[in-house]
Amino acid sequence: MATVLLEDHAQIEIPTIRNLAEFRTWALSDVFPQRGRIDYIGGRIEIDMSPEDYYTHGTLKSRVARAIGDRVDELDLGDILIAETRISDVPADLSAEPDMVVISYQTFDDGKARLVPKASREADRYVEVEGSPDLIVEIVSDSSVQKDTERLPVAYYQAGVREYWLIDARSPQELSFQILRRGETAFEATPLETDGYQRCEVLDAWYLLERTRHPRGHWIYELKSRQRDSQ
């Protein structure tokens, strides 16, 4: 068993993990750490114990999730899950807890994703999703840049994810919002409309993420949407 020492003198004990199956068993056990984000990507365990930035991650995530959730409900599309929902895919050698996940009822019906029940097998109690979500959103933090922009896009593509939203609000000069869709071998950027909107196939709408300064000085965000192309 390996022990990882953290900057705040906390520690995480990691058992011997030789493959994805063993990681998933550990992740769903009672001894799995209850704080931080711990992902398994291509045979590598990645631990991020950094606190979530309030205005470039936390409030942003809430605003985006609210807008996506409203659209999911409007379409009666399926479920939106926010953080700490474990998504695992065997072919992609992946187990992660994305910032946001959308899984349609159709995806469940087609067998592209399934719910993994708790060990107790209690009715309506599930702890993991196995398979291919329709949409995943990641918000970049200082400690997750390479993971969110390099390793996770590859893994999510291999897992069959239809769309990947990548948001980076750390810079005071620029807010980055990309809707990436499946290409032949990797995710590709969705073309911008003349007014800056990008089409989301999963939600059947166009989106534009904007931010402004609140009178108190902090950032506030708005995910604008429309259901038809303006062109």
Give the pLDDT confidence of 49-74 residue by residue, as tens digits.
Answer: 888 999 999 999 999 999 999 999 99
Give the pLDDT confidence of 162-198 residue by residue, as tens digits.
Answer: 999 999 999 999 999 999 999 999 999 999 999 999 9
- Residue where the block lists tokens 């192309």: 229
- What CATH homologous superfamily does 52-226 map to? tt1808, chain A (3.90.1570.10)
pLDDT at 35: 85
pLDDT at 62: 97
Identify whether the C-beta of residue 79 lies closer than 8 Å to the C-beta of residue 102.
Answer: yes
pLDDT at 5: 45
- Identify which of 128, 182, 177 has the alpha carbon closest to the alpha carbon of residue 156: 182
Mean pLDDT score across all residues of the chain: 93
For the segment 112-132, the average pLDDT, to the nearest whole number, is 91
Residue with more model confidence, 159 or 15: 159
For the segment 125-134, the average pLDDT, to the nearest whole number, is 95
DSSP string spanning the chain? -EEEE-TTS-EEEE----SHHHHHHHHTSTTS-SSSEEEEETTEEEEE-PPPPIIIIIHHHHHHHHHHHHHHHHHT-EEEEESS-EEEETTTTEEE--SEEEEEHHHHHTTSEEEEEPTT--TT-EEEEEE--SEEEEE--TTSHHIIIIIHHHHHHHTT-SEEEEEE---SS--EEEEEEE-SSSEEEPPPPTTS-EEETTTTEEEEEEEEE-TTSSEEEEEEEESS---
For 65, phi and psi rounded to 5 degrees? -60, -40
Task: Indicate if the pLDDT at residue 1 is higher than 70.
Answer: no
Band (pLDDT 50/70/90 cuts) for residue 4 is very low
CA distance 140 to 25: 28
Band (pLDDT 50/70/90 cuts) for residue 11 is confident
Band (pLDDT 50/70/90 cuts) for residue 7 is very low
For the segment 111-120, the average pLDDT, to the nearest whole number, is 91
Q: Domain coordinates of the chain in residue numbers?
A: 52-226
